[in-house]
Amino acid sequence: MPDTKMTEAQRAYEAKRAAKAGMSLDKWLDTKRRQQEAEQRAQQKTATPPKKPGLIARLIDRGHKPLKKTKS
């Protein structure tokens, strides 16, 4: 969370939280940013690709498609 995008009220709130944790505002924001990045990486690792539909699902989908007309 870059401090350039924060409003004065947000900056004051984060300064209070940093003081309560015993850190400087810059160190607090850096810690918060690294924690958010770590959470994003963890979510990306746990995300699995979608599974291929099973036999029954493929047959049902195929049954919903219109028949192809052949030229005679």
Residue 53 lies in a domain: yes
- Residue 72: predicted pLDDT: 67
- Is the pLDDT reported for residue 25 higher than 90? yes
Task: Give mean pLDDT, residues 39-62.
Answer: 88
- Is the pLDDT reported for residue 31 higher than 90? yes
> Where in the sequence is the domain holding 45, given as residue range(s)?
3-63
Q: How many domains does the chain have?
A: 1
Residue 9 lies in a domain: yes
| Band of pLDDT at residue 40, cut at 50, 70 and 90 | very high
Integer angstrom CA distances of residue 44 from 26, 47, 55, 66:
27, 5, 29, 39
- Residue 48: predicted pLDDT: 77
